[in-house]
Amino acid sequence: MTVVTTELLRRLDVSGPRYTSYPTADRFVEAFGEEDYALALQQRRVGSVGKAMPLSLYVHIPFCQSLCYYCACNKIITRHPERAEEYLRYLSREIDLHTAHCGVGQHVSQLHLGGGTPTFLTDEGLHELMAMIRRSFTLVPGGEYSIEVDPRTVDAARLAVLAELGFNRLSFGVQDFDPAVQKAVHRVQPAEQVFSLVQSARDLGFESVNVDLIYGLPRQTPESFDRTLAQVCELRPDRIALYAYAHLPERFKAQRRIITAELPMASAKVSMLARALELFQGDGYVYVGMDHFALPEDSLAVAKRQGRLHRNFQGYSTQPDCDLIGLGVSAIGRIGATYSQNVKTLDEYYDAINQGHLPIARGLALTKDDLVRRAVIMAVMCQGEVLFEPMEEAWLIDFRSYFAAELEQLQELAEQGLVDVREDGIGVTALGWYFVRAVAMVFDRYLQANRNRARFSRII
């Protein structure tokens, strides 16, 4: 097991993108609109990619019953379930607008329901949503069909409904088991409840159960987080996602309810991360990368070992690099060499669909340079290696000439033991894998050009 020192964690604790895409979403422009997106869908329909490669689907359910103060997601707080009923009717119409361009029955190998709280939907609502998806798309056997779950909104019977609907992966939002921390972020859920739900999920045969944790929350201490980490190891989920809390109250209104004085110091956050890295790996988890851990037999860990990791807007995936259709308010998609994002408010979303328009707010058509850099950054993020010759053959470039400035910058990371720059390529070291974002950032032309990183979360 590679030892990551707190000193190194502190030194490399800078702001940077998570690279679920390149270019990153802050580069999207309003000049890219509905017509551009519709053209990309049509080109997929008639091209060889649309016939050969399955799709990924993301559906955004924005509703939550209560506000979690740390949340930076696009959400709507309501206790009126009828609002979701109306939303589902518009989702159905948005799906129809898509299939008018890309055709009915396209194969889907990955489906993810996010939010908000997808389990805000009633059982009837979930049945309706899955029926409309299956009516328009073909969910292929062996795909990843996942849903984010707020433990406070489900019981064993509801999990059985999710299994019946075809979901095979669950992601439970835990964040922290400490009652004082839960109270400070307005998300109280007893540990016993989560333990019971995870056991029910196992009994029901779900292929993978993920638990989300956040460090850096108010009232957290290294000692209190140690207790949460020990409980998570006892729970032993298949996957763990460990995120650093980014306190940006000027951007996210909900975070203004957090008492700044109760936030842990930077040194305490680093200590929490270092302890989590040590404990999870000591307990048998594989560090997949970018905050993600998985048991050795989990498909994500297997993909990491076999060099088959991929990365999209939902994070690391075992599914091949494929087009993504985003449905619902604020959802982001990728079709061919384009990215797109839907409008962010319900009023805008409903208005666009009422007028018969795809609700695209902004997007981006990638240039050749964007595509070359995306290939390099994703190779860094997923395989931890960039081989010069395959990149040169694929993109008709001389790698050392094209990336001369970047290779020079990498020397500093090489001196720190994070990368090896060889004659045939670049390799991320075992130590460097913990700071893979810092390696990828070297190849980000936009980031290097403006140096304005305040909009991004910190690496640590």
Better-scored residue on pLDDT, 460 or 132: 132
Q: Is residue 39 over pLDDT 90?
A: yes
Digit-coded pLDDT (tens) for 366-416: 999 999 999 999 999 999 999 999 999 999 999 999 999 999 999 999 999
Q: In terms of pLDDT, which residue wins out, 457 or 252?
A: 252
Query: Residue 89: what pLDDT?
Result: 98
Domain with CATH 3.80.30.20 in the chain: 25-325
> Given a cut of 80, is residue 422 above it in pLDDT?
yes
What's the pLDDT score for residue 382?
A: 92
The amino acid at 98 = H
How many C-beta atoms lie closer than 10 Å to residue 442's C-beta?
22
Going by the DSSP 8-state scheme, the letter that residue 434 receives in this structure is G
Q: Average of pLDDT values for 293-301? A: 95
Report the Cα 115 to chain-centroid distance in Å.
Answer: 12
State the fold for domain 1-23+368-460: Arc Repressor Mutant, subunit A (1.10.10)
Comparison of pLDDT for 10 and 157, the residue scoring more: 157
pLDDT at 50: 56
Question: What 3 state SS string does 250-302 have?
Answer: CCCHHHHHCCHHHCCCHHHHHHHHHHHHHHHHHCCCEEEECCEEECCCCHHHH
| Alpha carbons 387 and 373: distance in angstroms, whole number | 13
- Residue 315 is predicted with a pLDDT of 83
User: Which pLDDT tens digit goes with each residue over 4-23?
Assistant: 777 777 777 777 888 989 99
Segments of the chain assigned to CATH 1.10.10.920: 1-23+368-460
Query: Would you list which residues are annotated within the binding site for S-adenosyl-L-methionine?
Result: 58, 70-72, 115-117, 148, 175, 187, 212, 246, 332
Are the C-beta atoms of residues 87 and 349 closer than 8 Å to each other? no
Is the pTM higher than 0.85? The answer reads yes
- Is the pLDDT at 444 greater than 80, yes or no? yes
Instruction: Kindly report the average pLDDT of the chain as a whole number.
Output: 93
Residue 389 CB-density burial (10 A; 0-12 exposed, 13-18 middle, 19+ buried): exposed
Binding residues: 58, 64, 68, 70-72, 115-117, 148, 175, 187, 212, 246, 332
Residues marked as binding for [4Fe-4S] cluster? 64, 68, 71
Count CB neighbours of 185 within 10 A.
24
3-state DSSP helix/strand/coil % of the chain, to nearest 5? 45, 20, 35
pLDDT at 314: 79
Q: How far is CA 398 from CA 33, 384, 404, in A?
A: 34, 20, 10
| CATH class, range 25-325 | alpha beta
